[in-house]
Amino acid sequence: MGEARLESVAHGHETYTYDYDQSLLPGPDSGAGMWRYQGLLPRPDVPTRYPLPVGGTPLRPARGLRRRLGLPGLWLKDETAGPSASNKDRATALVIDQGLRLGVGVVSTASTGNAALSTAIGGAAAGVAVVIFVPEDCAPAKVELMTTMGAYVFRVREGYRAAFELSRRAAAHFGWLDRCTGLNPLTIEAKKTASFEVWEQLGRRAPDAVVLPVGDGVTLIGAAKGFRELVACGVLAAVPRIIAVQARDCAPLAARWHGAQAPVRWPGTVADGIEVPEPMLGDWAIDEVRHAGGDFVTVSDAEILDAVELLSDAARIPTEPAGAAAVAGLCRASAAGLVGPNETVVAWVTGADLPSAPVGAARPGAVFTISASLDEVAAALTGTSVPAV
Ligand SMILES: *Cc1c(COP(=O)(O)O)cnc(C)c1O
């Protein structure tokens, strides 16, 4: 038996209980994409009203990369194919699907950039207003895309952690649907579907090891939970080893794992999607790696940029730095003997830059630079379409 308890400060909670069993797994008539795993998703068995395609991303054999790395059993889970070109699209879809069901008009989230972009694109498509909280130094191109899509963006001077806390408070106070990564359990529930797909794509087998980038920890925990549920359903013997990858210049969890002293302030990394000095789900992520018999590796910005190039040259997958971090980590892990040449290994390729702005919302949003205070949020939104009183 398993349980998924969904709690939302503003919208009460729903509890879903699963009797894990093979009957929950998709059959020949199950649809495509993420909704194919309805039996294991915490939502009623009704058609989704979320309008964009989600999940069903390719598992690529990447033959050029296999040769270059001497890993003939390597596969890439290519999460760059979605509407916003990152794995955040799974979580966005499940959250907005719930919002549409509950009749919620506003969804909000804090983000280092990609979750926000994904929410802005998904919200625009679904006709839901979007409010975003990012650190002040969020990539300007990403912020501009969000506002083009109609989102209201708050650049928070005190950084990501403060943006996160403010986002939560604002959602609770103003009655918005809170998509905040990790805190909304739907974000984990959605990301677990990538593991279901890998299992199906390998012919209903799990790999020996998976390599995953870690920011807040949601991607890793989701992937682990997916494999754990397959074990619970009786179709898998064990969760694969999990190699967790952090950027060397922002590696709080790897430091803890290796018992190292963390610097007072991390220098920062080109991989902004995983630049999280205080991860929301750090303890949980570390537990998952331990239980799966895995390890943490760190990679320098130079190694991450090399991996971006390697993926482009050898696998023809364009990525952004955070999206290529797992492949940089794989190179390290392989050199260190953490994965072997006879093993089946899947590296998560989690994101790419958006080549151009998707079709925008009817009305552009706006961007505000604020200190972390609810009053500043309310004042900025006065006269907009977002109720904030
Ligand atoms: C968010 C993100 C990750 C992983 O972050 P988690 O918060 O640990 O889930 C990895 N790559 C990209 C491109 C991302 O946007």
**What are the pLDDT digits (tens) for 240-270?**
999 999 999 999 999 999 999 999 999 999 9
Give the model's confidence band at 375: pLDDT under 50 very low, under 70 low, under 90 confident, else very high: very high
* Tens of pLDDT, residues 136-191: 999 898 899 999 999 999 999 999 899 999 999 999 999 999 988 767 889 999 99
* Tens of pLDDT, residues 213-236: 999 999 999 999 999 999 999 999
Domain ranges of the chain: 59-85+188-349, 105-175+359-381
Give the model's confidence band at 354: pLDDT under 50 very low, under 70 low, under 90 confident, else very high: confident
In this prediction, residue 3 carries a pLDDT of 58
Determine the distance from the C-alpha atom of residue 166 to the mean position of all C-alpha atoms in its chain, rounded to a whole number: 20
Domain 59-85+188-349 and domain 105-175+359-381, same fold? Reply is: yes
- Please provide the average confidence, as pLDDT, over all residues in the chain: 92
- CATH T-level fold of 105-175+359-381: Rossmann fold (3.40.50)
Q: Is 300 helix (H, G, I), strand (E, B) or coil?
A: coil
Cα–ligand 1 centroid distance for 70 (angstroms): 27
Cα–ligand 1 centroid distance for 171 (angstroms): 22
Report the range of poorest mean pLDDT among 9-18, 323-332, 342-351: 9-18
Ligand 1 pocket by C-beta < 6 Å: which residues? 86, 88, 114, 181, 213-220, 273-274, 322-323, 350-351
106-110 and 177-178: which strand pairing?
Answer: parallel
Q: Is 369 helix (H, G, I), strand (E, B) or coil?
A: strand
User: Best of 218, 225, 276, 283 to mutate for ligand 1, by most ligand atoms within 8 A of CB?
Assistant: 218
Give the model's confidence band at 9: pLDDT under 50 very low, under 70 low, under 90 confident, else very high: very low
- Give me the CATH code for the 59-85+188-349 domain, please: 3.40.50.1100
- Helix, strand, coil percentages for the chain (3-state, nearest 5): 40, 20, 40
Q: Which one is predicted more confidently, 112 or 283?
A: 283
- The ligand 1 atom at the shortest distance from the C-alpha of residue 218 is 9
What is the pLDDT averaged over residues 87-113?
93
Residue nearest (by alpha carbon) to ligand 1 atom 1 = 273
What is the pLDDT averaged over residues 45-59?
95
CA dihedral 168, 170, 173, 177 (to 10 degrees): -70
In this prediction, residue 10 carries a pLDDT of 40
